[in-house]
């Protein structure tokens, strides 16, 4: 892959279509979407900027200091506030669009300098009957929204109009974001392809005596080489007992002969994410105990992916993984209860303590309810989810010594299609023979 993943390449009609859907769902409401804050590490050194997913989804804007105000109702509108041009600031941090160019690029009905927000926000909010805004945002905006709401409320007493409720924007955006359009699916495909390439590079580095950090470095170097912005989350390169720490990110241990190495990594490409895990034997071959547990997790991955199809409750995916893992661990004598007891979360969670799936997209853990009012959500074409069963046999747990310190997770990224599913990361092998081959052949 040779292109860089700039999210700034904007098919205007895609965002216009999304905004129509948002405006329709808003009915008489007004949505206020701010940019993500600029983040610092160690005093005054900036992290690379990561745009806010909701703002980008709604209109494509990726500059800090932006606020979008989207109104539904009889006269839907999209008003943008952005930073003004500033040659001094642009010298340090790069070019800004400024209101005029931003308004044109993003198809806004009006665009103003961000400094005008305090003055203009009350009237914009007053035009709606609800404000869709996330409480607890950072910076100046909470104060401005609160003041604007207060002003709108006072004005509203005279006319009987104005906003009367604050609603989380996710109520509208999350269900829309669950269904990926073609443009999004293409980005997810690219993110998955880069993620697979990074995983191959990381696995190629696995060997006894290698630092976990070297595996991380190989994964992330390949991400960047392939044009990704970097990792969507901290890479997990966990050898031996570290594989049992679900979000292990220190990557500071030296791999030992006989270890399993769990690599969980994902590239962010054009703001969309991949998220893939493979677990490989450091020496190039599994011990009999590792092989036995790996086969259970691999069978769970296969059965959970097989459950992914339209109209199936998303909870079926987890249940498929649970029943395969419970049966497998009973078969190995690692669970000793009767089968009904072993299927109870309070029992199997000792060895399989996380969910099997999460939504994937602009965010690694993409938003969207998995259930509502007690009913699980049904899968529909265009939804993208991970399938990631795992078994973790911690040191000190009640399993024979040869099984202790073993963490095995296998994770793929799956899109629901009209007649089933497609595994977007299935080109990265999972079978025992292929995985052993990957390590001994160096990727």
Catalytic residue list contains 370: no
- Span interacting with Mn ion, options 50-58, 255-263, 376-384, 404-412, rule CB under 5 A: 404-412
Nearer to Mn ion by Cβ, of 289 and 411: the residue is 411
Spell out where 257-304 has E strands: 260-265, 267-269, 272-273, 276-281
Strand partners, 82: 113
Tokens of 205: 């580095």
Q: Which residues contact 442 (CB under 8 A, 6 or more apart)?
A: 204
**264 belongs to the catalytic site:** yes
Angle at 426 between CA 414 and CA 334, to 5 degrees: 85
Q: How far is CA 406 from the centre of its chain?
A: 26
Give whichever of 220 and 289 is closer to ligand GLY, judged by the CB atom: 220
What does the DSSP assignment read for 357-396? --B-SSSSS----SEETTEEPBP-TT-EEEE--EEEE-TT
Instruction: Mark 217-244 as b/e (b = at least 16 C-beta within 10 Å).
Output: bbbbebbeebbbbebbbebbbbbbbbbb
354 given a catalytic annotation: yes
324 binds, among ligand GLY, Mn ion, none (CB under 5 to 8 A by kind): none
275 is catalytic: yes
Helix (H, G, I), strand (E, B) or coil at 127: coil
Q: Which does 222 bind (CB under 5 to 8 A by kind): ligand GLY, Mn ion, none?
A: none
Residue in 50, 134, 225, 354 annotated catalytic: 354
Contact predicate 402/289, CB 8 Å: yes
Q: d(Cα 390, Cα 409) in Å, to the nearest integer?
A: 4
Q: How far is the CB of 413 from Mn ion (least distance, A)?
A: 8
Identify what 233 binds: Mn ion, ligand GLY, none; CB under 5 to 8 Å per kind: ligand GLY
Active site residue 171: no
Q: Which is nearer to ligand GLY, 264 or 327 (CB)?
A: 264
Instruction: Note the residues at the interface with ligand GLY (CB under 6 A).
Output: 233, 264, 275, 358, 388, 411
235 binds, among Mn ion, ligand GLY, none (CB under 5 to 8 A by kind): none
CB of 264 to ligand GLY, least distance (A): 5
Is 264 among the residues that bind Mn ion (CB under 5 A)?
A: yes
Q: What is the closest distance, in whole angstroms, from the C-beta atom of residue 214 to ligand GLY in the complex?
A: 20
Considering beta carbons, is residue 315 or 386 the nearer one to Mn ion? 386
Q: Which is nearer to ligand GLY, 77 or 355 (CB)?
A: 355
The CA distances from residue 231 to 50, 215, 249, in Å, are 11, 14, 13
Instruction: Pick one of Mn ion, ligand GLY, none as the site partner of residue 436 (Cβ within 5 to 8 A by kind).
Output: none
CB of 72 to ligand GLY, least distance (A): 34
Is residue 392 part of the annotated active site? The answer reads: yes
Catalytic annotation present for 421: no
Q: Which of 63, 129, 218, 275 binds Mn ion (CB under 5 A)?
A: 275
Torsion sign (Cα): 343, 345, 351, 352 = positive
DSSP state of 318: H
- Whether 327 is a known active-site residue: answer no
Map tokens 């997770």 to a residue. 409
User: What is the C-alpha separation between 395 and 337, in angstroms, rounded?
Assistant: 21
Q: Which residue is nearest to ligand GLY (CB)?
A: 264
Active site residue 365: yes
Q: In the bound complex, what is the minimum distance in angstroms from residue 352's beta carbon to ligand GLY?
A: 14
Which one of Mn ion, ligand GLY, none is in contact with 19 (Cβ closer than 5 to 8 A by kind)? Answer: none
What number of other Cβ atoms are within 10 A of residue 382's Cβ?
A: 17
Residue from 386, 403, 407, 438 that binds Mn ion (CB under 5 A)?
386
Instruction: Examine the residue annotation and report whether 133 is marked as an active-site residue of this protein.
Output: no
Which residues contact Mn ion (rule: CB under 5 A)?
264, 275, 386, 411
Residues acting as catalytic residues: 44, 247, 264, 275, 354, 358, 365, 388, 392, 409, 411
């Amino acid at each position: 892959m040779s292109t860089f993943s700039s999210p700034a390449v904007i098919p205007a009609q895609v965002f216009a279509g999304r905004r129509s859907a948002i405006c329709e769902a808003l009915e008489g409401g007004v949505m206020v979407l701010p940019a993500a804050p600029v983040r610092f590490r160690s005093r005054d050194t900036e992290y690379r900027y990561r745009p806010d997913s909701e703002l980008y989804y709604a209109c494509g804007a990726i500059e800090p200091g932006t606020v979008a105000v989207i109104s539904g109702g009889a006269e839907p509108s999209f008003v943008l506030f952005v930073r003004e041009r500033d040659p001094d600031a642009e010298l340090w941090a790069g070019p800004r669009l400024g209101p005029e160019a931003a308004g044109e690029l993003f198809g806004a009905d009006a665009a103003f300098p961000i400094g005008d927000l305090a003055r203009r926000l009350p009237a914009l909010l007053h035009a709606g009957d609800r404000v869709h805004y996330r409480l607890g945002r950072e910076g100046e905006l909470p104060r401005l929204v609160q003041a604007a709401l207060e002003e709108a409320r006072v004005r509203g007493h005279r006319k009987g109009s104005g906003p009367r409720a604050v609603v989380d924007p996710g109520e509208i955006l999350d269900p829309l974001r669950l269904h990926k359009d073609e443009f999004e699916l293409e980005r997810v495909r690219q993110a998955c392809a880069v993620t697979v390439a990074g995983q191959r590079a990381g696995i190629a580095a696995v060997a006894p005596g290698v630092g976990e950090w070297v595996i991380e470095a190989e994964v992330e170097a390949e991400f960047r080489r392939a044009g990704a912005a970097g990792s969507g989350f901290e890479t997990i390169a966990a050898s031996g007992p570290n594989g049992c720490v679900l979000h292990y990110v220190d990557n500071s241990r030296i791999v030992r002969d006989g270890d399993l190495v769990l690599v969980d990594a994902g590239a962010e490409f054009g703001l969309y994410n991949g998220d893939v895990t493979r677990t490989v034997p450091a020496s190039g071959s599994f011990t009999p105990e590792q092989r036995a547990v790996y086969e259970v997790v691999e069978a769970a991955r296969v059965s959970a992916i097989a459950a992914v199809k339209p109209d199936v409750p998303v909870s079926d995916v987890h249940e498929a993984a649970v029943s395969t893992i419970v049966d497998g661990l009973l078969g190995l004598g690692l669970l000793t209860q009767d089968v009904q007891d072993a299927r109870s979360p309070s029992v199997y969670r000792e060895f399989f303590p996380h969910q099997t799936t999460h939504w994937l997209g602009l965010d690694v853990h993409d938003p969207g309810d998995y259930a509502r009012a007690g009913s699980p959500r049904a899968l529909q074409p265009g939804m993208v989810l991970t399938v990631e069963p795992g078994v973790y046999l911690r040191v000190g747990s009640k399993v024979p010594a040869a099984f202790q310190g073993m963490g095995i997770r296998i994770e793929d990224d799956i899109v629901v299609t009209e007649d089933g599913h497609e595994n977007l990361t299935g080109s990265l092998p999972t079978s025992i023979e292929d995985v052993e081959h990957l390590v001994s052949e160096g990727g």
